[in-house]
Structure 1
Amino acid sequence: MAGARVHVDRLTKPPGSLGKLEELAEKLAGITGEIRPMFSKRSVIVMAADHGVCEEGVSAFPAEVTPQMVHNFLTGGAAVNVLARQASADVVCVDIGVNAELSHPALVQRKLRYGTGNMAKGPAMSRDEAEAAILVGVEVVDAAVSQGVRLFVTGEMGIGNTTASAAIMSSLTGVTPQQTVGRGTGVNDERLLHKIAVVERALETNHPDADDPLDVLAKVGGLEIAGLTGVILGAAARRCPVVIDGFISSVAALLAVRLKPEAAGYLIASHVSHEQGHCALLKELGLNPMLELDMRLGEGTGGVLALHLVDAACRIVTEMATFESAGVTDGKQGANDGETAR
């Protein structure tokens, strides 16, 4: 990072004038160990799973939408597919816990169970299942890295997963469900109050241990959230940057950091979601988002948009001339002359 900082300050511009792009270039150098990193192959890992808590009526959409949207990802018709094509990224869809039989040549089939249990009545899953789901994410990253992928975006699909994410955030941070529960798929005021009550009941029923992230994940989490936690840990272990999407992905990032604090250094926040709680969650992670577009779709859409900024940071350090190479006066001489005159 120090080497990148020196290089960036030698480029033909006033120091710091490219703002967050300069900070991003330095961070990418630290993650990869290369002052001029390039990411020709990048993947959006979309983890898909269902949630038993949907029985409580917490979403504006029925649970059947999860497998339907998985098919949409696989045929290239979802928003994340469109934006990924623009950003030259592959979309890898993983069935880690969809409550349906799915079959497609492009689907990564790693189903651990047919959706989680209803966390309002008991644990969402066992501790062993939560660990297994994390390892699925690690293994998906390992397979991608073996094929040349060096940059990852987190994506997800699972009706009900904002409810699980809010419960996880409340468990790990102490922030009340009134502040972590958002509208998700667009529920009305009455359904929002009900959703808050369901999260409160889930926390009271399960008593997740805030000092044990795996306990929290197992009791009030989701299989796709666990899978993304593994993606983040696996990418960090491989010295690959991870571009975090929205609220659900950021909850997975919080779990990863609580499990392994060093993982925080490998995270890039793409945007701040319109979902309530995301801004506070990013502050908890110490991340500064690059975009604010009032998005709340998930899937990895905000993360894919941020790939253009990652590319911009890489191109700046790779293609931009230095003061020396361009024969441009760097301003230091003028500053010294001014000091002498005074």
Structure 2
Amino acid sequence: MSVDGWNTVLVLGGIRSGKSEFAESLVAEAPTVRYVATSAAADPDDTEWATRLAAHRARRPGSWTTEETAGDPRRLADVLASAGPNETLLVDDLGGWVTVLLDPAHQPADDVATITELADAVRASEARIVLVSPEVGLSLVPTTPLGRAFTDALGAANRAVADACDAVALVVAGQPVWLKPATPARPVDVPTQATPTTGAAAPTSGVADPTGGAQPPLPDVLTPTVPAAPAAPTADGTGWAAPTMALPVVATGLVIQPGMELPMPDEYAGPQAVQRLGTLDLPGAGLGVLERVVEFAAATQGTPTPTPWTGVRVLLLHGDHAGGAAAGAPVGESARLARQARAGRGALARLAAESGASLQVVDAPPSAPIEHGPALDADAVEAALRYGWRLAEEAAEAGVRLLVLGACGAGAEAAAAAVLVATAGAEAPTVLGRVHTADGEIDDAAWMVRCATVRDALHRTRRSPRDAKDILAELGGGDVAVAAGVLLGATARRVPVLLDGPVGLAAGMVARDLAGQARHWCLLVDHGGHPAVRLAADVLGLTPLLDLRLDLGEGANALAALPLLRSVLALAGSLPAHPHHGGPDDEPTGDPTGDAAPTTPTAATATPTGEVGATTVPATTDRATDLPAGDAATGAADPDAGPAVGEVADPDAGPAGAEVADPDAGPAGPDATPEFAEPVPAGPGPTTTDAGPERDPSGRRAG
């Protein structure tokens, strides 16, 4: 598109000014267009008028459909109001519509009310609308009553529709001049100096601008609501243990510049957290690759026992790119997604509500076609960087503990790819993802246009500097610049950021060149199968945690995985240590089945083995071996122990039930042969439930 940020536009111009051609160029990239013809049928004898109409029809692509409203002027408002958000309409023109409105066949009628209805329909429509109208206010006053009525009615219609439209352009001699910009310039800024303080840094967002300019308000922070339980705050309610860092005072008065010294995560807390994981009562290999989540959270929170992130804010950057970068992007889709998020609808708002996260939709400056010239000027880049910094500062002051960065601008992927090509030395076709139509089909023609756009932009800037701000001005544009400012501001306030998509990774490449510490505060959840994300992650040293290849939209992919990350942190923080590492042992102290030998002999756990007459008495245990004395199935008796307590000894028999004879008693019989006796083990031996070989009542081995 030639102009970004608008949903409805009015194109004014004189006779043969080129207004219709300019209006058609605004919707040239739309896959389908409904051309709304408002003029009445021409006089069959007027060949010149018929020739004009034929020329108009010849310019329309074959994919366009034509709809006529000349029969009823009120029908135009109905057509605009009923159009869907995915439709694009071109109304040409309001001069013909007013002519039909003033036709005696439609009188008497309330012309003012009909014009008001048209303006209300334009204002309420969700479709992409371009209206063409003649500008008659610069001509002489007509000399006839009908001519004066026409100019008065058309002038009133132009004023009402211009007020309802997002943008208004005047075409003079084929040159468009924007009378009402779609995205008016907003002088964003942050304080040029920050006062060093001890401990926590004083908030800089409230300091007055030395130049005298007022700070513009930040976007509203939304809280999407769906039937979901919000995340509970931490038990102690405390924030970070590590203090924030005050920005250094630079002699030039600039804060955001290359070589900034920003804080790093705690270099000890991360390894200590991983070491602590090895002592927890976790089965198997434990958390696997998700150990990196615990390490990252520990380092950014400054503690070996990190807690799950509670205060989460999603920043959705909406900034369109003109030219070939947006080839194949559905017209008006990015604006629709931004409006949807503001209204609390759509995947991003739903996931934010499920995660208890707040949502902030940020309008970034629109970017010019990079194949023809710079995307932004130097002043706009400075303003965008500082604006992003302010967004991060405001989030930190509001208690946000984790930022999620997303984007929804048309052409954002191609602009991010251009930044990666310039900073990482890649080729455009290797970092540009496939382009899909609204029906889910692959659009190879649009993909080739994007490749050619990035190629032409790199060729145009082949002799330009490759500094961070130069890359933002020439290639990155508004959304990448704001995202880079967010990363720098979050780093200064020790707030970690979840990256998700090409825009966030391109901003990470730029932020790295301004402050190398910024990349250490970033976490990449999923690469989404996008080649640009894979390349940038490899350069920045960010290994994706997952390989889910989610394609829910930039920002929504990270939110979908956020519950898993929180669960990992909650598990790592609540599990006790393994018993081998000093943790509590919840095992039973004894097992009467014999599966585990008791460590301390007690009468309650002894096995009754002795029997005298009708009286059963418990057998004693040997303290050296913890084995029941006199139990033939469990081991040898102590030769010096004598008879068991409560048992009447046979003076002619050896130890009752003993497997090894007393060495002082001699052979058990004349036919007995001496056998090698196993030494008594020093500790508990194996137990068995097998009855073993049959014993001779006299105590001698049978056979």
Per the TM superposition, whether the score is higher than 0.5 is yes
Give the match for residue 178 of structure 1.
429
Rounded Cα–Cα distance in structure 1 between residues aligned with 2:494 and 2:463: 31
Q: Is the 8 A contact 2:483 2:503 kept in 1?
A: no
Larger Rg: 2
Matched, 1:224 2:485: no
Q: Of residues 451, 454, 457 in structure 2, which corresponds to 1:199?
A: 454
Q: Is the 8 A contact 1:119 1:219 kept in 2?
A: yes
Rounded Cα–Cα distance in structure 2 between residues aligned with 1:233 and 1:302: 22
Q: Of residues 136, 156, 163 in structure 1, which corresponds to 2:414?
A: 163
Between the two proteins, the alignment pairs up a number of residues equal to: 310
Matched, 1:61 2:316: no
Matched, 1:117 2:368: yes
Question: Does the C-alpha gap of structure 1 residues 90 and 57 become closer, same or farther in structure 2, counting only changes over 3 Å?
Answer: closer
Matched, 1:84 2:339: no
Q: Of residues 585, 588, 592 in structure 2, which corresponds to 1:327?
A: 585
Give the match for residue 44 of structure 1.
314
Report the alpha carbon displacement of residue 283 of structure 1 after superposing the two structures with TM.
1.2
- Partner amino acid for 2:348? V
Residues 266-299 of structure 1, C-alpha deviations (whole Å, 9 max, x = no match):
1110111233332222111211112223334433
Matched, 1:33 2:302: yes
Rounded Cα–Cα distance in structure 1 between residues aligned with 2:361 and 2:275: 40
Residues 181-223 of structure 1, C-alpha deviations (whole Å, 9 max, x = no match):
2224555112211211111011112337574121111101121
Rounded Cα–Cα distance in structure 1 between residues aligned with 2:406 and 2:557: 9
Report the alpha carbon displacement of residue 91 of structure 1 after superposing the two structures with TM.
1.3
Give the match for residue 256 of structure 1.
511
- Partner amino acid for 1:91? L
Report the alpha carbon displacement of residue 84 of structure 1 after superposing the two structures with TM.
1.5
Question: Does the C-alpha gap of structure 1 residues 188 and 139 become closer, same or farther in structure 2, counting only changes over 3 Å?
Answer: same
Helix, strand or coil: the match of 1:277?
helix
The runs of 5 or more residues in structure 1 that have no matched partner are: 98-114, 330-342
Q: Is the 8 A contact 2:364 2:482 kept in 1?
A: yes
Question: Does the C-alpha gap of structure 1 residues 268 and 116 become closer, same or farther in structure 2, counting only changes over 3 Å?
Answer: same
- Partner amino acid for 1:317? A
Q: Is the 8 A contact 1:157 1:224 kept in 2?
A: no
Give the match for residue 271 of structure 1.
526
Give the match for residue 103 of structure 1.
none
Rounded Cα–Cα distance in structure 2 between residues aligned with 1:76 and 1:200: 38
Rounded Cα–Cα distance in structure 2 between residues aligned with 1:265 and 1:93: 25
Q: Is the 8 A contact 2:497 2:521 kept in 1?
A: yes
Rounded Cα–Cα distance in structure 2 between residues aligned with 1:144 and 1:228: 14
- Partner amino acid for 2:451? I
Helix, strand or coil: the match of 1:152?
strand
Give the match for residue 136 of structure 1.
387
Give the match for residue 49 of structure 2.
none
Rounded Cα–Cα distance in structure 2 between residues aligned with 1:37 and 1:132: 35
Rounded Cα–Cα distance in structure 2 between residues aligned with 1:210 and 1:135: 22
Rounded Cα–Cα distance in structure 2 between residues aligned with 1:120 and 1:81: 34
Matched, 1:13 2:282: yes
Rounded Cα–Cα distance in structure 2 between residues aligned with 1:298 and 1:270: 14
Residues 230-281 of structure 1, C-alpha deviations (whole Å, 9 max, x = no match):
1111112211211111222211122212221111211110111233332222
Q: Of residues 539, 543, 554 in structure 2, which corresponds to 1:288?
A: 543
Rounded Cα–Cα distance in structure 2 between residues aligned with 1:53 and 1:297: 25
Q: Is the 8 A contact 1:208 1:220 kept in 2?
A: no
Report the alpha carbon displacement of residue 167 of structure 1 after superposing the two structures with TM.
0.6
Give the match for residue 336 of structure 1.
none
Rounded Cα–Cα distance in structure 2 between residues aligned with 1:198 and 1:29: 43
Rounded Cα–Cα distance in structure 2 between residues aligned with 1:208 and 1:182: 27
Question: Does the C-alpha gap of structure 1 residues 245 and 51 become closer, same or farther in structure 2, counting only changes over 3 Å?
Answer: same
- Partner amino acid for 1:246? G
Rounded Cα–Cα distance in structure 2 between residues aligned with 1:213 and 1:176: 19
Relative to its length, the structure with more helix (as a share) is 1
TM (normalized to structure 2)?
0.42
Helix, strand or coil: the match of 2:281?
coil
TM (normalized to structure 1)?
0.84
Bigger relative CO (Cα 8 Å, ≥ 6 apart):
1
Give the match for residue 148 of structure 1.
399
The runs of 5 or more residues in structure 2 that have no matched partner are: 1-269, 588-703
Identity, % of aligned positions: 27
- What's the Cα RMSD here? 2.1
Residues 46-91 of structure 1, C-alpha deviations (whole Å, 9 max, x = no match):
111121225x7613312x3222221111011121111222222111
Give the match for residue 70 of structure 1.
338
Rounded Cα–Cα distance in structure 2 between residues aligned with 1:3 and 1:178: 43
- Partner amino acid for 1:234? G
